[in-house]
A and B are shown apart, each in its own frame.
Chain A
Amino acid sequence: MNGPQDMGGMMGFGPVKPEINEPVFHEDWERRVLGLTLAMDACGLWNIDILRHTRECFPAEIYWSVPYYDLRIEAHIKVMLARGLVTEAEILAGHMQVPPKPVKAVLKPEKVGPLLAKGSAYIRTAASLPLFKAGDSVRVRNLHTQGHIRLPGYLRGKTGEVVRYHKAHVFPDSNAHGAGENPQHLYTLRFKAREVFDADSDDDLQADLFEPYLEAP
C-alpha cells in the first residue's frame, strides 16, 4: 500500500541524529515491549508480515510521530484484539475479564535461546522456475497495491540489473493477509542513483525484489 511506511526518498523529516553511546533501551517500558512482543510472537498465531502490515496501516500522523516501541506494542495489541486474546477493557483494567483463548505454544525460559538461535528461514520451493538471472536487465512494474507489498515506491518503473538470485522466499504480500506463503523468486536488483533520484554521481542502490514486482524491459 502507498502508506506511511514507504518513506524512501521523502523529504521534510530533518537531519539524522545519531546518539553517541546510545543505550539498548531508553526507558524500562521499552524493555518490557521487546520481551512481550517476542514472547507473544512465540504463541504462533501470526507472522512477521501481518505485524509489518498492521504497523503500516496506522494513520500517517501516528506512524511518523510515535516512537518505535510504542508503535510496536500498539500493533501487537491490534492483532491480539483481532484474535480475541485480550479485550480493550482488560488492558485498561490490567486484569483478566474473559477466559484465555488457546495458543499454539507458551514460550518457556529454557526455550528462548534455542528459539532465537533457530530463527525462521524464509527460503521455500517455488511452483515455477525463476524468470530472471544475474546480469539480466529488468524493469520494476508500476504497482499500486492496496494491501501489503515490499516494493518501495521510488523504484516503480525503474530498470535495474539483477545482481543476485536468492532462491524463492515466503511472499510477504500473501503471508500478511493470511493467504499462505505463496513462495516467489527473490532477486537483488542494482539501480543507478542518477536514474532513480536524479543524483549527480555514479552512486548506485540495491533492493531485494520479488519476481511479481518485475517484468522484462
Chain B
Amino acid sequence: MPHDGHDHDDHSELSPIALRVRALESLLVEKGYVDPAALDVLIDTYETKIGPRNGAKVVARAWTDPAYAKWLKEDATAAIESLGYTGRQGEHMVALFNTPEIHNMVVCTLCSCYPWPVLGLPPVWYKSPPYRSRAVIDPRGVLAEFGVTLPETTKVSVWDSTAEIRYLVIPMRPANTEGLSEDELAGLVNRDSMIGTRLAGKVA
C-alpha cells in the first residue's frame, strides 16, 4: 500500500499530483540525491529574490542613463550583469528597445524559454498553448487580449526564443515622467511590458 490509514487522513486534502510529488521528495531525500535545505534555498530564491523587479531596475537605468542604454544595446549580458543579475537561463542576453516605430514581443513557441535572472519564473499564460501558438501568427490579436492596441504605423516585431539567447524588452518610457527618480520609474515597469505584451505603466 502506498499509504497507511494515518497518512490518508493527513493527505485527504491533497490532489494525486501533490501526493506523488510529496512521495517523490521523500524518496529523493532518503536516497541522498537531494538535500532538503538546498530545496528550501532554491524555492525561496525564485519566490522572493529573483523576479521582475530585477528587470525593472535594468529598464529604469536604461531610461535614465544613455550610456547604460547604449551598453545594453551592444552587450546586454554584461550590462545586466553589472547590476548583479546573471546566471541560469540568462547566460546570453539580448535587449530589445521599443520605439514608436517598433514594438518587440517575445515568445518561446517550442517550450517556455524566459530570462529568469531578470524576470524570475514565467507566468502561466507564457507557458500555455494559446500564447505559444498565437504570438507568432497573430501578435496583434494577442496584444488585444492584454488590452493593448498599437497604431497601424507601429511595426510588431516578434522574437521566438528557439535557442539559448534570452530576450528582455525595454518598453518605452511613459510620458510625463521627467521628474521621477530611477526607483520611481522602476515602479512603472510591469513584468509583461518586459515580455512585450503590455506597455509600461501601472497595470489596472
Contact = CB atoms under 8 A, between A and B. Distances in A.
A192 to B, nearest CB: 11
B132 A7 contact: yes
The size bracket of the interface on B is 35 or more
Interface stretch (B60-68, B83-91, B177-185): B83-91
A9 B33 contact: no
Contacts of B89: 119
A135 interface: no
Interface size bucket, A side?
A: 35 or more
Given A95-B26, A96-B30, A29 B42 contact: no
Contacts of A127: none
Nearest to B7: A94
A39 B45 contact: no
Contact of B136 (A9, A151, A172, A202): A9
Interface string B122-160: 011101111111111101101001100000100111111
A133 B191 CA distance: 34
Interface of B: 2-3, 14-15, 17-18, 20-28, 30-35, 37-43, 45-47, 50-51, 86-92, 94, 107, 109-112, 117, 120-121, 123-125, 127-137, 139-140, 142, 145-146, 152, 155-165, 192, 197, 203
20 contacts: A8-B109, A8-B110, A13-B128, A13-B130, A16-B125, A24-B46, A24-B120, A32-B22, A35-B38, A39-B28, A56-B111, A86-B24, A92-B23, A95-B27, A119-B87, A169-B164, A186-B165, A196-B136, A197-B136, A204-B158
Given A29-B15, A94-B24, 6 more contacts: A11-B137, A13-B133, A14-B130, A52-B110, A73-B21, A166-B163
Interface of A: 5-11, 13-20, 22, 24-29, 31-36, 38-40, 43, 52, 55-56, 64, 68, 70, 73, 77, 85-86, 90-96, 100, 103, 106-109, 111-113, 115-123, 150-152, 154, 164, 166, 169-170, 172, 186, 188, 193, 196-197, 199, 201-210
